[in-house]
Structure 1
Amino acid sequence: MWVPLLALLTAGLVSLPRCPRGPGPFLGAAARLLAAAVPGWCQRPENRCVLSNAATCRECLAVGPECGWCAQEDFMPGKMQKERCDTVLSLIKRGCWSDSIESPQVGVTLPDKQVKNIQVTPEEVTVQLRPESEVSFLLKVQPLEKYPVDLYYLVDVSASMHKNIEKLNSVGSDLSKKMENISLDLRLGFGSYVDKTVSPYISIHPGRIHNQCSDFDLDCMPPHSYIHVLSLTDKITEFRNAIQKQKISGNIDTPEGGFDAMLQAAVCQSHIGWRKEAKRLLLMMTDQTSHLALDSKLAGIVIPNDGNCHLKDNVYIKATTMEHPSLGQLSEKLIDNNINAIFAVQGSQFHWYKGLLPLLPGTIAKQIESQTANLSDLVVEAYEKLLSEVKIQVENSIQDINVKVTAMCPDGSRTTGLEGCKNVISTAEVLFNISIAMKGCSATEGSQYVTLRVLGFNESARVNIQRKCGCHCEDSMKHQRTCISELFQDATSPSSNGSGWSSSGELSSEQCKMEKNHPVCSGHGGCVGGKCICHKSKFGSIYGKYCEKDDFSCPYHLGNLCAGNGECEAGKCKCFSGWEGDHCQCSLSLQKHCINSYGQICSGRGTCVCGKCKCTDPSSFGHLCEFCPTCRTACNEKRNCAPCRRTNLSQITLDQCKTSCTYRVHYSEQLSECASDDPSHFRIFFIIFIVTFMIGLLHVLIIWQIILQWNNKIKSSTGYRGSPAKKDKMFLPTVCTKTVTYRRDKPEEINISKLQVNETFKRNS
């Protein structure tokens, strides 16, 4: 009998709405039972505004858009727990004046003087947001029929493209006829490119520097990075004349400098002649891939591309000093200048350009057929496809502001803004639902804006965002006290004047910073009377003197935050004593697995992490970093740790012992086996070797000098005549005479010549 009754009571306790907080769990349960028995007992069910226990008005507004703060001074007099943070309707029912409730409005406002766009409306919108709020509005995009078109041909004029250049002669008039059904105002322009004019991209041989085709007996124009040949014009004859005069050029490597030329054609608007009111198309014709950023390092060019126009006399002059643009930079410049790019590619490299399309929004790739002249059809097909796609990209992203764009296509489908709508017929209306949400107030208050850019259109929409994070009661010293809950005022008010504020009337926010350059209360709380009041979070608790700790933002290990062996501080685990690792999952006792046979941690060449060595010396390897061909020997390592067993060590030596010889301080192994390679022995041996060598060298010199003196004595004692036994020819110098005697085989041929009396004689020794 009692079991069903208890079950019924338990179910009632769980399912009943919560009543106002009571002094204890038992009385709270009793209140809920009374609520079931007496209708109207709980007239004010609790909500997240009340449950937040917000200490300040700013914290209350951060809970949600439905929350308000009563800044009335005599609100609920005589009650300690006034619960100033509640829903606006509840605060009014509880006696708070409506003009004393802090609750910024959220909404969308259109300017009084709205400029009418032709294709994108509205042009400008202002939204008011507060934390955890969201607003939405519709953006309408309606392409015009027979829109003006600017088409600029950017042609690769390397030698392999000569047949495609010839096809351009008939493109002008043919294309103008085919575009009559799409646009009544078509303008054409032309530019050529090859590659950067430095080695190794072109040949710098004197015979080929001006004519890269000289080896083939062809007259080619000098290589160039980009030349703007013809500005946009509606005169087809000028376009055809420019094509007929165009010569081919050449280079060495396979990729070309197409992206260098594309960026210049996009940003040099005055040179090209892009019209603001026209649909801008940039068609690049090539049969090879293009160089990307960092490729120019091969030529020693390391200065990043600045994305600006550098045409002088219609020639790109920064090709040899600035790198190729990156894909991100090229995409940014195409979008900023409302240009749709068309890659007209011949050959197998078409797939390379097709793979780049996701990285270059608003671009399209078409393949040139090698036999038939399909360039006109290619342009028309590409243009019609571009017109049938309507996409939106969000620019100027703002912290804590989330912009969501949903395309509501004419066929009834819904996609994201960047995917957009496809197969949209001309003049069809495309709607985009723009939702803007504000998460928090970590960024600066004030007015900011985002841009909604329709890709390929020369019109966009601007959304001005006004953040509402603060309260009016914070602006006046008279009412600042009403911005703080009475409970926290009593807990934090200083005893100097009893007002809860300093004599200067300013909160000591510096006392709420962990360090001077850190945010107040680590950005997770409010400063009240020099103490941090941490915000509430639906993910977990935020605590600490400076609200620097929490129980949810750090990594988990085996289901426990910081493996249960540390605290979460500033998003990183701060391990308790005896634990280490990013997750505090490793015990310091595991360091025993990192000690080598000599007692060193990781052989003194690394650090021990969770029982495994991470070698810090790049030349060492092994489980214990024990192998190091270019490092000192093991004996040197043992010898370096030997002083750690002594007493009265200097601080420097003591620090070294703690880092690399922690486990060798009491190590008693003798170093006798290392005496053979002690550096002191090598020094002594080297000194002895040098001394012995010098003594031996001195002996050799002395003996050599004695031999020389002995030979001189022998020569001086011998006459100028040779031994009779010698029959060979020889020179017999006279000693201190004025005659020179030559002895030959025949005595009758001997000639004796006399020197003059005053002639100088020099003796040869």
Structure 2
Amino acid sequence: MCLALGPECAWCSQEDFMAGATQKGRCDMVFNLMKKGCQSEFIENPTIRVTIPSDHKANTQVTPGEVSIQLRPGGKASFMLKVHPLEKYPVDLYYLVDVSASMHNNIEKLNSVGFDLSKKMANISLDFRLGFGSYVDKTVSPYISIHPERIHNQCSDYKLDCMPPHGYIHVLSLTDNIAEFKNAVNKQKISGNIDTPEGGFDAMLQAAVCQSHIGWRKEAKRLLLVMTDQTSHLALDSKLAGIVIPNDGNCHLKDNVYIKATSMEHPSLGQLSEKLIDNNINVIFAVQGNQFHWYKDLLPLLPGTVARQIESEAANLNDLVVEAYQKLISEVKIQVDNQVQNLHFNITAICPDGSRKTGMEGCKNVAYNEEVLFNVSVAMKGCGITEGRKYVIIKPIGFNETTIINIYKNCACQCEDSARHKRICVDETFLDGERTNCEDTNCSSSEDTFPFERCKLHPDQPICSGQGDCIGGRCLCHKTRLGKVYGKYCEMDDFSCPYYHGNLCAGNGECEAGKCKCFRGWEGDRCQCSLLTAKHCMNSKGQICSGRGACVCGKCECTDPRSFGRFCEYCPTCNNACDENRNCVQCHYSNNASQTTHDQCKTSCAYMVHYIDPASVSPKLQWRKFLSSG
């Protein structure tokens, strides 16, 4: 436990060290331990090391291919990663085409694409291959018409003979035989459906994960060109058809047909992004019409993608592919896969022009003879529940090479009995219930029988709100991709509460346990309303919403279903004035009124409240006096 408190803390395992002293004296700075008489060979103080194994995998584009890092809690290590794009890559280009009826003219244009495009790509690629697949939508209502006369010909309205609708069909595996590609496109019929969005994301995921069917090559740059003129359905859309099984992200092609289209949901954007990156797929959205901007807005959520607009009848399709490909290979950005709890990565890209960017932002306009350097810093915040060797993968997006980082977490003393010396390592058992803290140049401890109880906001809540680790009675909050977790009990964060006009809790509160805790003077579930707006709910008598509703952000919400109006002032079937005033009688009594009663009086009867002493006035006079005041 001592080593887990900070990078400066060390443990003395010498048996006769400070004889008679408590265990807390064994955990201290190295200098202090030696000053107290601990011999250097008995001091447990793991070092932080970065090594590149001599037998590591040799990469061409991404070096080093493997790194080993020894870390301890609170420690940080750094190394440089180099990405060197090649001059000419083999290229696999798979056309994934929306074959709904409105795409008829664009599909005809594909007939002349293969030969012309292969000539253009010869200048920038050593080896170019083409493949082809088609998609429409899920073949269930309400996405397609199930009328008997239209079930097999969805586009009868276009006076065309259509093939039956389908989720996704893999038509042609990647090939360098351009004539074969042209023949496959010539045979392609259009199809149709009845709703506007298509099943594009369903088909994209299958084209990415069904590697053996498509024929993706390991050494090639993989391009998935999606041609469409409509948006795509998203996850949960399929619930309209009663499909509730989440997409499992696996390949489900049988005889080159996607067989799970009617039983499994569309993938989420996050899931699709993960599968595209895992399979080194770069996407080119070639979109015709007004939906181009819908796809353009998705680009930040799908790394390694570009969007281009198709001109009428796809006249610019060849140039579009070449331009998009050159843009993709000139961008170098990386991400961290297989993240390990309590490890925090900070990555800075050093671009050829000297500028510095974050790892995910990366560098643009990188030429094939230039290198991009990434300063990778790894910090270990705590041990968590697992120790030993872990590994993390640094992956340049769209590249088929990676860097594997082996992390060795040193959280415990390496104490072993020997023939000459007996070592004492009782810090790991924590049986003495001590809490030790290591700060600056001093390691101290204090008695605390139940250190984990000090890490709970309330006794019935999880330790560190379930968002951190309890070390020595103090919470060390987890780092997440979503945002920052903070607070004494890790109860606060900057991402899990509702936003208002782009600001968390409207900028007028803090996020605590998933709910906005408003600063003074603000209210609402997003802290979007000033308390000053309550004056807009007060009627001419000084009542808030006429006593029949609540003031929410300056507007009355009538709680009495019989009332209506701006101030809930209209209520034809409510009690008459005498009956209403009778409810405020108790507000005139000063003796032993509860806080609830006082609050109600301020809200509903504020305009007539003035307390009297009931002992000095007869009941009949009290009632007359009250009516006259109302």
TM score, norm. by length of structure 2 = 0.71
Q: CA deviation at 1:468?
A: 2.1
3-state secondary structure, aligned to 1:320:
coil
Q: What whole-Å deviation, never above 9, does each CA across 1:418-452 have from its counterpart, x for those lacking one?
A: 11111111142221110011223345333322221
Alignment counterpart, residue 377 of structure 1, candidates 319, 329, 341:
319
Partner residue, 1:352: 294
Are residues 1:362 and 2:304 paired?
yes
The answer to whether the 8 Å contact 2:234/2:269 transfers is: yes
Asked if 1:156 is matched to 2:98, the reply is yes
Q: RMSD between aligned alpha carbons? A: 5.3
Are 1:437 and 2:368 counterparts?
Answer: no
Distance 1:604 1:84, change over 3 A: farther
> What is the match of residue 152 of structure 2?
210
CA distance in structure 2 between the aligned counterparts of 1:511 and 1:256, rounded to whole angstroms: 53
What is aligned with 2:40? Answer: 98
Q: Does 1:57 align with 2:2?
A: yes
Q: 1:202 to 1:148 in 2, by over 3 A?
A: same
2:332 is the counterpart of 1:390: yes
Match of 1:140 among 78, 82, 86: 82
Alignment partner, residue 226 of structure 2: 284
What SS class does the counterpart of residue 122 from structure 2 fall into?
A: helix
- Identity of aligned pairs, percent? 64
1:441-485 deviation per Cα after TM superposition (whole angstroms, max 9, x unaligned): 345333322221111112211212222233346999954289999
Secondary structure at the counterpart of residue 126 of structure 2: coil
| Structural mapping, 1:164-243, within 5 Å | 164-243=106-185
Distance 1:633 1:72, change over 3 A: farther
Tell me the CA shift for residue 110 of structure 1.
Answer: 2.4
1:269 aligns with 2:215: no
Aligned letter for 2:206? Answer: Q
The one of 261, 264, 268 aligned to 1:326:
268
Q: 2:393 aligns with which of 451, 459, 475?
A: 451
* Residue of structure 1 in register with 2:426 after alignment: 480
- Match of 2:287, SS state, is strand
Contact 1:196 1:225 in 2 (8 A): yes
Partner secondary structure for residue 307 of structure 1: coil
When Rg is computed on C-alpha atoms for both structures, the one with the higher figure is: 1
Amino acid at match of 1:219: D
Change (3 A) 1:510 1:377: closer
Amino acid at match of 2:155: C
Match of residue 480 from structure 2? none
Q: Is the 8 A contact 2:91 2:129 kept in 1?
A: yes
* 1:309-345, Cα deviation, whole Å (9 max, x unpaired): 2222211222222222221121111111110000111
1:398 to partner: Cα distance: 2.9
Structure 1 or 2: more strand by fraction: 2
Gaps of at least 5 residues in structure 1 are: 1-55, 490-500, 502-506, 538-547, 556-570, 573-580, 587-601, 639-656, 661-667, 671-765
Relative to structure 1, the CA distance from residue 329 to residue 481 in structure 2 (aligned partners, 3 Å threshold; closer, same or farther) is closer
Letter in 2 for 1:238: E
Counterpart Cα distance in 1 of 2:243 and 2:491: 48
* Change in 2 beyond 3 A, CA 1:276/1:70: same
Aligned to 1:469: 411
Question: How far is 1:72 from its partner?
Answer: 3.4
Distance in 1 between residues matched to 2:429 and 2:263, nearest whole Å: 60
Residues 334, 340 of structure 1: 8 Å contact kept = yes
* Paired position in structure 2 for 1:248: 190
Give me the whole-angstrom Cα distance separating, in 2, the residues matched to 1:66 and 1:79: 22
| 1:184 partner SS | strand
| Change in CA separation of 1:199 and 1:524 when aligned onto 2, cut-off 3 Å | closer
CA deviation vs aligned residue, 1:366-398 (integer Å, no higher than 9, x gap):
122216732222111111111111110112333
| Runs of 5+ unmatched residues, structure 2 | 436-446, 478-486, 495-511, 523-544, 582-596, 601-613, 621-630
Residues 519-530 of structure 1 correspond to what in structure 2 (within 5 A)?
none
Match of 1:310 in 2: 252
Partners of 1:354 and 1:480 lie apart in 2 by 59
In structure 2, what is the equivalent of residue 406 of structure 1? 348
Q: Is the 8 A contact 1:473 1:483 kept in 2?
A: no
Q: Which moved more, 1:431-440 or 1:468-477?
A: 468-477
How far apart are the structure 1 equivalents of 2:476 and 2:91? 56
Shift of 1:348: 2.5
Larger deviation: 442-451 or 174-183? Answer: 442-451
Cα distance between partner residues in 2 of 1:215 and 1:484: 77
SS at match of 1:378: helix
CA shift for structure 1 position 111: 2.9
Q: Deviations over 1:288-310 (max 9, x none)?
A: 22222232333333332222222
SS at match of 1:447: strand
**1:88 aligned partner:** 30
Matches within 5 A, 1:419-438: 419-438=361-380
* Alpha-carbon distance, 1:251 to partner: 2.1
Q: C-alpha distance in 1, partners of 2:574/2:127?
A: 80
> Does structure 1 conserve the Cα–Cα contact (< 8 Å) formed by 2:109 and 2:314?
no
Q: Structure 2: how far apart are the matches of 1:81 and 1:312?
A: 66
For 2:50, which of 98, 108, 111 is the aligned residue? 108
**Equivalences for residues 543-582 of structure 1 within 5 A:** none
| Matched letter for residue 109 of structure 1 | T
Alpha-carbon distance in structure 2 between the residues aligned to 1:213 and 1:470: 69
1:617: how far off?
8.0
Q: Secondary structure at the match of 2:411?
A: coil
CA contact (8 A) 1:81 1:487 kept: no
Aligned to 1:418: 360
Alignment partners' CA distance in 2, 1:423 and 1:101: 52
Among 195, 201, 208, the residue aligned to 1:259: 201
* Structure with a larger share of its residues in helix: 1
Task: Report how far residue 237 of structure 1 moved.
Answer: 1.0
Q: What is the DSSP-based 3-state SS (H/G/I as helix, E as strand, rest coil) of the residue aligned with 2:374?
A: strand
Which protein, 1 or 2, shows the higher relative CO under an 8 Å CA cutoff with sep ≥ 6? 2
Q: How does 1:699-718 map to 2 (within 5 A)?
A: none
Q: Report deviation, 1:68.
A: 2.6
- Amino acid in the other structure paired with 1:438: M
For residues 551 and 391 of structure 1, what CA distance do their matches in structure 2 show?
32
CA distance in 2, matches of 1:552, 1:166: 59
Shift of 1:487: 13
Name the aligned partner's letter for residue 303 of structure 2.
Answer: P
3-state SS of the aligned residue for 2:364? coil
Kept in 2, the 8 Å contact 1:83–1:485? The answer is no
Is the 1:127–1:465 Cα contact (8 Å) retained in structure 2?
yes
Q: CA offsets per residue over residues 651-671 of structure 1, 9 Å max, x none? A: xxxxxx9xx9xxxxxxx999x
Of 118-127 and 450-459, more deviation after overlay is shown by 118-127
What SS does structure 1 have at the residue aligned with 2:270? helix
User: How many residues are aligned here?
Assistant: 547
Task: Name the structure 2 match of 1:122.
Answer: 64
